[in-house]
A and B are shown apart, each in its own frame.
Chain A
């Protein structure tokens, strides 16, 4: 089945710095790659997503890049703020569209 590896598992940055989280996937037919943010005690929430026919997508301070050839995609957060502290998950959607496979998660800590 599909496999998604996510790195790093923990990331600590100073407020105002940038944070980058990377994921690699195994299924070359995957066509949709969302990123979820999970705050303490809550369910994951979609923050940005990208389709396979696009190389980059931005939404204010967050951006996602996709390299289909290398089968990896990354989340970039600029000007980090303490409220960005959370666990972030990448995921890939299989070609049939019926399943999401998640990475292991990255705990981001933004120090004020």
Chain B
């Protein structure tokens, strides 16, 4: 089944304790992205990757890191989490970022992170 998976689905942690949220897709997609969802703000893009070893900042990159060593995986790293990073996080992927019909982004199920 074609899908985007994220782990963990739920995480409660404390300020300053490094954590990684994994994201994997099995559709051979070039483009992957991380978003955070907060009430009233919609989804805001944190980082995106157009291909292996190619990553760039989105609208809200502060406090986050990413890497894209393999095409299928795009982990999100919080080196020193703070309470304002408490949010619902979504990973997404699409076939490409260019070319009509290739834009559709497929979203993972989400990771609810609480930082105390």
Binding site for B on A (CB under 8 A): 1, 4, 6, 9, 32, 34, 36, 41-46, 49, 51, 89, 93, 97-105
Contact in complex: A104, B100 (CB < 8 Å): no
Contact of B109 among A32, A42, A98, A102 (CB under 8 A): A42
Distance A41 CA – B41 CA, assembled complex (angstroms): 17
Contact of B44 with A by CB under 8 A: yes
Q: A97-B98, A100-B105 are in contact. Are A43 and B90 (CB under 8 A)?
A: yes
Contact in complex: A32, B103 (CB < 8 Å): yes
Binding site for A on B (CB under 8 A): 4, 31, 33, 35, 40-45, 48, 50, 56, 58-59, 90, 92, 97-98, 100, 103-105, 107-110
Distance A41 CA – B109 CA, assembled complex (angstroms): 7
Contact in complex: A99, B58 (CB < 8 Å): yes
